[in-house]
Structure 1
Amino acid sequence: MDRYGESGGTPPAGLTGQARRARRRERLLSTALALFTTRGFAATSIERICGAAHVSIRAFYEEFESREALLIALHNDIARAGMEAALVVLGDPAVGSASTRARVTALCRAYIATVTADPAATRVAFVEVIGAGPAVEEHRLLWRSLWTDFFMGEADRAVGRGEAVPRDYTLAVVALIGAINELVAHWARNHAALSRDRLTDEMIHHVLATLGTPAYEGK
């Protein structure tokens, strides 16, 4: 190992220490993503990640306090991307004034397109995180609470427009988020045989059904 915590000699000339560290972190993340996808999180040790990434164990702990922290970072990347995709849709003036049905359709299409863009990342974020330890579960619950607030806002909007029945949607939204997570996890396990379009259509159906909004005009 060289003094930068990497094997194989000195880093490329011209890179600052910060840039070298960013490259090292990215290599750990991409290597872990590949290993967690092929071997599974439970069967992948820090030593194996470091060996495949050509990074010392000491350098690993300079970036992540644990294997779970690395998994959380991978999950956070895709969770944040999915939320940002939804918020971009909300920022579209046309969507802002659209019916609940049209709004939900746009949101679901943007979300699914984003979180399934890389099937390996999808599998890690929706499959490998399950049962990965208390810290990972706490992180998942944080994102679940964010999505609960998000969908509660959508429910309130639909009620205000007269497109949903006024009621307490809290438990329904909790069930909805669990269903969406399981749908995407199922797609991650079976994406070779299951199209994104079918997954998207099913998510749209679940969201509209939760709100009590007909899936088609005139229904």
Structure 2
Amino acid sequence: MTGQAPHPLNDATDAARTGAPAGRIYSGLQSSERALERHGRLVEAGLEVFGTTGYPGAKIKSLCQGAGLSERYFYESFESREQLLMAVYDQVASDLMRHVMDALQEPGLELRASVRAGMAAVVNFMLDDPRHARIILVEIVGVSPDFEAKRHKSMSEFAAESMRQLLLLSGLDPQTVHQQSAENPQDIALATALDFARLTAVSMVGGVNNMLLDAVLGGTTYNTERITDVAFQLIYNASTGIRALAAGESCVPAGEPTPPS
């Protein structure tokens, strides 16, 4: 937030300075474009304040100071601190997913390298800028039922992508096996493999999140390579069991209870 040029505080002041009617083009921007620009500055200020000071201790005055705006413009864009936090979370979560998908789709990588690149994208995005991890893993937790629903939806989306990668590592085409399972509900082996894959993906998202949280709270955000290695090893090891289940074999060691069918 440092080194930022001062910004006009309101349209009326802009108009008085330039002699232009309010609502007209000023500094090359329409009134609606200026409102959008102010919205973006508040979101950036929210990332900084919520990601460092934290949501409970954040004041609207501090958020406005960080954005270089008056409180009037805060309420032009947001009804409350919670609504701003929602906008910050949406932006960070969207940026994270974009980084992950870009890594997974990087041309020229074989499957295992692609999956590891996706893991690395998650870890690096969250730990290279710990504000990201704090927003996603700490500040939105328990704020409201709406936030909990949004958090669950976001985690479910990441779990679905993790499940897709897990199936690929298991030698199974995700679209094909889902279609086969729908067309052949009596195929218990396939249904079991898919259920195991889904629950494994859910547990992996939670496990990786906890590793990232441990790094942020424990001051080991530099440990990105090791965390990425562990995350990849988890999904790669799990793929062996999923492959066995899809073939109708047990993935439980001898002497252990057999998974329910």
- TM-score bracket for the superposition, by shorter chain length: 0.7 to 0.9
Matched, 1:127 2:172: no
Matched, 1:74 2:88: yes
Matched, 1:143 2:154: yes
Query: Identity over aligned residues, as a percent?
Result: 27
Task: For residue 18 of structure 1, give the secondary structure of its aligned residue in structure 2.
Answer: helix
Change (3 A) 1:4 1:206: farther
Change (3 A) 1:127 1:212: farther
Change (3 A) 1:90 1:31: closer
Aligned to 2:213: 185
Residue 50 of structure 1, aligned match among 52, 64, 78: 64
Alignment of structure 1 residues 151-170 onto 2, 5 Å: 151-161=162-172, 167=193, 168=195, 169-170=197-198
The letter of the residue matching 1:207 is I
Please give the root-mean-square deviation of Cα atoms over the aligned residues, in Å: 3.2
* Deviates further, 189-198 or 122-131: 189-198
Residue 53 of structure 2, aligned match among 31, 39, 42: 39
Matched, 1:23 2:40: no
Contact 2:105 2:114 (C-alpha < 8 Å) held by counterparts: no
Aligned to 2:202: 174
**Distance between the aligned counterparts of 2:42 and 2:12, measured in 1?**
12
Aligned to 1:105: 116
Give TM-score, length-normalised by structure 1.
0.77
The letter of the residue matching 2:238 is T
The letter of the residue matching 1:30 is E
Cα offset for 1:51? 4.4
Change (3 A) 1:186 1:192: closer
Cα offset for 1:184? 1.8
**Distance between the aligned counterparts of 1:128 and 1:136, measured in 2?**
10
Cα offset for 1:125? 2.3
Give TM-score, length-normalised by structure 2.
0.66
The letter of the residue matching 2:171 is G
**Distance between the aligned counterparts of 1:76 and 1:126, measured in 2?**
13
Contact 1:42 1:132 (C-alpha < 8 Å) held by counterparts: no
| Alignment gaps of 5+ in structure 2 | 1-7, 19-25, 174-188, 242-261
Task: For residue 131 of structure 1, give the secondary structure of its aligned residue in structure 2.
Answer: coil
Matched, 1:209 2:220: no
Contact 1:2 1:10 (C-alpha < 8 Å) held by counterparts: no
The letter of the residue matching 1:158 is L
Cα offset for 1:59? 2.3
Change (3 A) 1:173 1:192: closer
| Alignment gaps of 5+ in structure 1 | 214-219
Contact 1:172 1:210 (C-alpha < 8 Å) held by counterparts: yes
Change (3 A) 1:193 1:108: closer
The letter of the residue matching 1:31 is A
Task: For residue 79 of structure 2, give the secondary structure of its aligned residue in structure 1.
Answer: coil
Task: Flag the structure with larger Rg.
Answer: 2
Cα deviations by residue, 1:51-90 (Å, 9 ceiling, x for unpaired): 4434343422332233222222222222222222222233
Cα offset for 1:143? 0.8
